[in-house]
Structure 1
Amino acid sequence: MGTLWGTKQNGEDHEDRDEEQLQQEGPRASSSHSQPTRRSEDANERTRLLPRHDQSQAYLSPDDPAVSPYNLWSVRALRWFEVLFLVITCLWWVLLFISIFVSPPSMHSRGSGFFDVAYTTLTIGNILIALLFFAVPSTAMSILSMAISVILLIDMIIILAVARIRVEEGWIGIASVVWAALIGFYNIVTNRTVKWGKAEEEERLTGRHETKRSLREWCAVFTATFFMVIYVLITVLLTATLVLRSRDATLAAPGQRYLVDGDKYQVHFACVGNQTFTPKGKPNPTVLLEGGYMPVEDSFEEWVYDAYKNGTIPRYCYWDRPGLAWSDNAPSPHSAGMSADAISEALAIAGEDGPWILVSAGIGSVYSRVFSARHPRAISGMMFIDGLHEDLLYKVSSPGRGFVLWGRGIISPLGLDRLAGALFKGRTKEDRVFGKSSYQGGKFIKNKLQENLVADSLTKNEVSSARNIQDPKVPLVVVTSGVHVRQDKDWERKQEDLTKVTDKLLSWDIVKRGPREEVWRTLEGRTLLEKRLGQLYKAS
């Protein structure tokens, strides 16, 4: 009992001493316990992530989500600007896309406009890659972004140095390529800044800079590099096509270009031969050519030139509709009546008064009929060669055809077919400007897309009205492809109806072996066309 009592008494004495000791050490203990409170009060965006109480808990794991370059305000600001640039570029892309179909004020490009869309699309892709792989910077991305920017600067120099391309692209094309180059340089700065921020945060939060990448990071780097390599190839193709356009721009146009429609674009007009006069001093008729699907210079002019050399006609003139050969693209939308106004303005500037014998092929007959109705006193005769009837314009304006034309236009700046033709088939600049390869160019595609958009609406209304206004006393010749007639009986009925455009039909001939819309490619066709042209000239 004595021992137990002694132990209990000693324990109580020990507890009393502990209480006294705690009371004496109270200020120090209180100070010691208040220290973490002060640390939390002094925490900021860096220190609050490290609630360390001893040395063993000082660093985080490299895989911890808190180890991120986004901890830095500078990195977050760069990403915000990247998003802002994406929004601006997308809005610009939408505006350029709309201008292909409907040109807003001051947004008309005298070129096709497809190059502007191509550069802007490249810029959007460049920004998206930068955003998707923002936190995984790599040296490869910096190098590839630098390559894209340098090549785009070369494109800008080409556009500014070559007068013809500078006129066609205008301020819209220059702004698009400059913006694309600036975004490339911005991505280089962003990539390096994020790389620096990532290293700093790893060293601060994990104690060392992580030199190894996880499997997920390597997949991200490879994916980003893959897409960037594709962007570099696209940029190279854009530049190669631009170089090809620069070479084509050196091809001099016969005749002259005239600014029309309030100086918005130029159309090409040329004449062969001198104006002749009757004994009474009146001018003899001049043949005015209107091409069909292809430019006049492709082959349509050849048989007329033979007729001129043979003395069948003393003079002929021709022009290129907007977007064909040497003519600029017109603002959208653009109908047959607008083209008739354009050539009327060009003729007035050139001092050409007529009278005219209109010779046209295919859809060109629609344009000639509208022109004839607007200049009834200046028309001495008309010849339709496999002319397109207004009731068949719905085929030109089919949605499927329009979608295909739009798709061809979008990829046309890459120049896949044009570059292959120049490198492996020896295609010349003549062939690309007005020859067999001209259909591959963006301007040509834009012309056909504009025809497609309004063929069954504006253009059909204009040519239907022209039929009511047409002078019925104008001599008329109709020549039809026999191949086309055999393939499409409805075409034959519509050709017969074209013979009733005026009341003075001289002849309607069907060339048995004449190809569709190109009967002049056979000897039979060329001989017949020259004969009928001579008869039409004498009758007028």
Structure 2
Amino acid sequence: MPNENSTAEGSRSMNADGSPLDVGKSQDSRVQHGKKEGLPGAYAPGSPESQPLLNGDRARASHRSIGQNAAEGNLVEEVESLQGRMYKTRQRYHIFVQDSKIVLNTLIGINLVWLVTTFIVDFFFNIGLLHFSNRLTSFNDLCLIFISIVANTLNLWSNKVGLYSRLDQGLNIVLCLMTLFNLFLTLIISYTRRRIGFIGAFTYLWASLTFFAGAVLDWYLYYYFKEFNASSEDYDETPTSEGNSRHTIKEWVSIGVRNSVKCLIFVFYVFFTLNTLLFTIDVGSLTRGVKDVTTEASASYDAFHWVDKEHTYQLHITCYGDLFAKEKDAQPIVLFDHGSLDTAFLSATWIQELYHLNRVDRYCTYERPGYGLSDSAPAPVSIAMVADALTYALVEDAKIKGPFSVVGYDIGGLYAQVFTAKNLDKVESMLLVESWHEDILLKNYLQRLLPPDKDNKDPDDVSNLPVEIKRHNGFKLWWQGIWSTLGIKLQTSWLLAHHGSKERLFGRDLQYQGKFIRSKFLESVTSSLLSYKDVLNGKEKLRDIKLSVASSNQLIKKSPQWGNWQRDLTKLSAKTQEWKILNGGHEVYKYGSARKELQDVLLRLLGDKDRY
């Protein structure tokens, strides 16, 4: 009797018309459809020999099979080998996750300590790292360190294969390059390169390293993502969570939040970079003719001068005329101290006019720390500290010995008083123009430390300051300082108002510079008490100084208290020459008649008899 199996095999080798069946072609066809129907354990549709397993193409072995054939053994070996590879991949992945958590937590801890230290050093108390400190101190360093903390926190939070995102990886690379580009812009100009210091440059490098680390972590996550997906495709079971390319709702939310924050950081960096670029252009155009003078200066010059032997920071000093004239009847050098929201570029134009008219022979102006091209001073800073710095810069570094006739406008009047008290042998006379009274330094001091409250302004209170005398709230200044890193106001100054570089560094747009806002924060919050004491200590020394006072009639009409303060200023010296009431507002240099009257007061103080 013929063998049943051979008969069945023969029947399967014939087509319906009796022609031989191409076995190889038939098997290839079955393999191409992804179903190895000829192999034991594979499910063939309609076959009674095997039953399909749920959710798969493989089938349970036939109940008529005895033992295990070679094909099934190979399949078991492949599965075991695949499981071994997946185990090793998972093991490496978990080690990577643990190591990266340790590194990221360490970086976050370092950033937090650095942030607190920078905040204290830049705004309250200097620890003495002068040779490494940033002489362009503003709010940039704080923002970069804070962004580094945010970026590292996002990296720690999303350090999972299931949260990998190509967008996040691309943003990390772009942000790293943008940070390095900002550092490049800072270093290509001699002025900023000499002042940024090691700490300032390292802050940029640290921020770029943060984004670079994020990109490296994303690369590793992408590597494990591919490994798990490849293993899931080979191993025909339900894919593991690591290798599943589909995300849960929770994962989508996490990815969306992280990418949204990174996009906001990218937008910040766009404005930050534009602000750095604009500052580089402005500084580059205005410092070409400014020299670092350390020996005896020429007669008329524009230079930076050190404020002490330790070379802590430099002041920008500009002088006109023959500063070293030896004639006995030569006019004293007019030394101008600018106001609270301006520099000599705006408020000393009336003196410049007298110089061009040959009525003033020589005069000097300077910018206080944080203003214009002068460096940022270490915290804390007070009026006496600035007066000592100016004395060293003029007398020791620039070799300008005087004598001086000091003119102080607005808050510059307080600086003029302290400078005069410290240099009685070098100062012949003093003119106070719309000068502050020392009581303004402490007026509403506690309110300036608290969040602003508009309800406490009583219009009937005659002691209220005029709006022209601006005392800034610490919280407002801090908020303005953070926004200054974006430079939006400065960008609109040239895009819309078509202002030039001098307006942004010396003029109307100076108030939007981060370096300037920091100096106002120090003046308002940390320096008022020190400066108040400085002014009081110098008052007794001014009794024999020749003094003139010029005040605005408009401000006296607005505030009786302002009139009382101006009257007190006339009593500083027993040799007060005159108290002139000018016909104009607080910015007297803008009013024609007030400007002319003020020029006459100065000429009379200098001893120009032709003006009587």
TM-score tier after normalising by the smaller chain length: 0.7 to 0.9
How far 1:276 sits from its partner (Å)? 7.7
Q: 1:222 to 1:455 in 2, by over 3 A?
A: closer
Does 2:501 correspond to 1:501? no
Q: Is the 8 A contact 2:323 2:400 kept in 1?
A: no
Superposition pairs of residues 57-136 of structure 1, within 5 angstroms: 72-101=94-123, 102-106=125-129, 108-135=133-160, 136=163
**Given the superposition, is the C-alpha separation of residues 539 and 283 from structure 1 closer, same or farther in structure 2, using an over 3 Å criterion?**
closer
**RMSD over equivalenced CA pairs, Å:** 2.4
The one of 166, 176, 190 equivalent to 1:139 is 166
Gaps in structure 1 of 5+ consecutive residues = 1-54, 60-66
Q: Is the alpha carbon distance of 1:127 and 1:69 closer, same or farther for their aligned partners in structure 2, counting shifts above 3 Å?
A: farther
Alpha carbons 2:339, 2:411 under 8 Å: kept: yes
Is 1:515 matched up with 2:585? yes
Residues 130 and 454 of structure 1: CA distance in aligned 2, closer, same or farther (over 3 Å): closer
User: Which of 1 and 2 has higher RCO (CA within 8 Å, sep 6+)?
Assistant: 1
**1:390-414 alpha-carbon deviations (Å, 9 max, x no partner):** 1121148532512221222222111
Q: Tell me the CA shift for residue 134 of structure 1.
A: 2.1
1:223 aligns with 2:271: no
Summarize the Cα distance change of 1:287–1:396 in structure 2 as closer, same or farther, 3 Å threshold: farther
| Offset, 1:199 | 5.1
Q: TM-score, normalised by structure 2?
A: 0.73
- What's 1:160 paired with? 187
Q: C-alpha offsets along residues 3-60 of structure 1, whole Å, 9 cap, x if unaligned?
A: xxxxxxxxxxxxxxxxxxxxxxxxxxxxxxxxxxxxxxxxxxxxxxxxxxxx9xx99x
Q: For residue 139 of structure 1, what is the amino acid of its counterpart?
A: R
Is 1:527 the counterpart of 2:596? The answer is: yes
Q: Give 1:162 shift.
A: 2.0
Shift of 1:81: 0.8
Of Structure 1 and Structure 2, the greater helix share is in: 1
Contact residue 275 and residue 284 of structure 1 kept, 8 A: no
Matches within 5 A, 1:403-418: 403-418=475-490
Q: Secondary structure at the match of 2:425?
A: helix
Say which SS state the counterpart of residue 427 (structure 1) adopts.
coil
Tell me the SS of whatever aligns to 1:381.
Answer: strand
**SS at structure 2 position matched to 1:72:** helix
Q: Is the 8 A contact 2:331 2:606 kept in 1?
A: no
1:153–1:178 Cα contact (<8 Å) kept: yes
- The one-letter amino acid of 1:370's match is V
Identify the match of residue 238 of structure 1 among 255, 260, 272. Answer: 272
Superposed displacement of residue 282, structure 1: 5.7
Q: 1:222 and 1:454, CA in 2 relative to 1: closer, same or farther beyond 3 A? A: closer
Q: Distance in 1 between matches of 2:605 and 2:255?
A: 72
- Secondary structure at the aligned position of 1:331 is classed as coil
TM-score of the two chains, using structure 1 as the length reference: 0.83
In 2, distance between residues paired with 1:508 and 1:237?
49
In 2, Cα distance between equivalents of 1:495 and 1:170? 43
Distance in structure 2 (CA, Å) of the matches to 1:395 and 1:407: 22
Q: Which amino acid aligns with 2:389?
A: A
The structure-2 alpha-carbon separation of the partners of 1:230 and 1:354, relative to structure 1 and needing over 3 Å to count, comes to same
Q: Deviations over 1:337-357 (max 9, x none)?
A: 011011100111211111111
Deviates more, 1:287-296 or 1:382-391: 287-296
Cα deviations by residue, 1:133-190 (Å, 9 ceiling, x for unpaired)? 2221111110111111111121122222222222232111211111111111111111
Q: What's the CA shift for 1:197?
A: 3.0
* Superposition pairs of residues 17-36 of structure 1, within 5 angstroms: none
* Counterpart for residue 371 of structure 2: 324
- Alpha-carbon distance in 1 for matches of 2:91, 2:483: 38
Q: What does 1:38-57 align with in structure 2 at a 5 Å threshold?
A: none
Equivalent of residue 342 in structure 1, options 385, 389, 394: 389
Give me the whole-angstrom Cα distance separating, in 1, the residues matched to 2:273 and 2:91.
Answer: 36
Cα distance change of structure 1 residues 275 and 88 upon mapping to structure 2, 3 Å threshold:
closer
- The alignment of Structure 1 onto Structure 2 pairs a total of residues equal to 474
- Hey, what's the Cα distance between the residues in 1 that align with 2:541 and 2:191? 39
1:269 aligns with 2:296: no
Provide the rounded CA distance (Å) in 2 between the counterparts of 1:411 and 1:525: 37
Which amino acid in structure 2 is aligned with residue 440 of structure 1? Answer: Y
| CA distance in structure 2 between the partners assigned to 1:439 and 1:141 by the alignment | 36
- Tell me, yes or no, if the aligned pair for 2:490 and 2:512 is still in contact at 8 Å: yes
Question: AA paired with 2:157?
Answer: L
Match of residue 310, structure 1, among 335, 342, 357: 357
Q: Are residues 454 and 183 of structure 1, via their aligned partners in 2, closer, same or farther at CA, if it must alter by over 3 Å?
A: closer
* 1:217–1:327 distance in 2 versus 1, CA, 3 Å: same
Q: 1:476 Cα shift?
A: 1.3
Deviation digits for residues 107-145 of structure 1 (CA, Å, limit 9, x no counterpart): 632112311112111111111222222221111110111
Match for 2:197 among 142, 167, 170?
170
Contact 1:298 1:436 in 2 (8 A): no
Is 1:476 equivalent to 2:526 in the alignment?
A: no
CA distance in 2, matches of 1:183, 1:236: 18
Q: Distance in 1 between matches of 2:486 and 2:520?
A: 19
CA distance in 1, matches of 2:531, 2:509: 27
CA distance in 1 between partners of 2:444 and 2:364 (Å): 27
Which of 340, 348, 360 is 1:301 aligned to?
348
1:373–1:169 CA distance, 2 compared to 1 (3 A): same
Residue by residue, what CA displacement relative to the aligned partner does 1:446-469 show, whole Å, maximum 9, x if unpaired?
Answer: 221221234431111111010012
